[in-house]
Amino acid sequence: MIPNAPFEAIGAMALDRRSKRRFSLRMGIWYRPAGLSLPVIWTAGESLNVSSTGMLFSGPDTVLPGQKIEALIDWPARLNNRADLWLALEGVIVRSADEMTAMRVNRYEFRLSDCLQQA
């Protein structure tokens, strides 16, 4: 496989390699580089599909393969029908092309909606 090739060209190969089922999930997300000592501004984007081990998303900023990243998905369900939730993901970028980025998810958890202000 050619790294950073357009996703259309590698789509069929990627499907064969996946060990977890991907679910089409078009939701608003926020993402930023992880592990930096300085505060980093969150960038808005959109999730395209997600599994327990990866996510494909689109956004205006270029994210390079190998870069550690954290992302927050604006989750549609509410905790006890009162509190807004985010699905927080941490991982590494594996591909990026044509405003689409694929990340390998190393860790995920649900957080309350105020996590964007606290982070």
Q: Residues 10, 13, 15, CA angle at the centre, nearest 5°?
A: 110
pLDDT at 64: 92
Nearest to 93 by CA among 104, 79, 109, 78: 104
Q: In the chain, which ranges are continuous DSSP H helix?
A: 7-17, 115-118
This prediction's pTM? 0.74
Please tell me the CATH superfamily of domain 7-118, with its number.
predicted glycosyltransferase like domains (2.40.10.220)
* Residue numbers in the chain where pLDDT is lower than 70: 1-19, 114-119
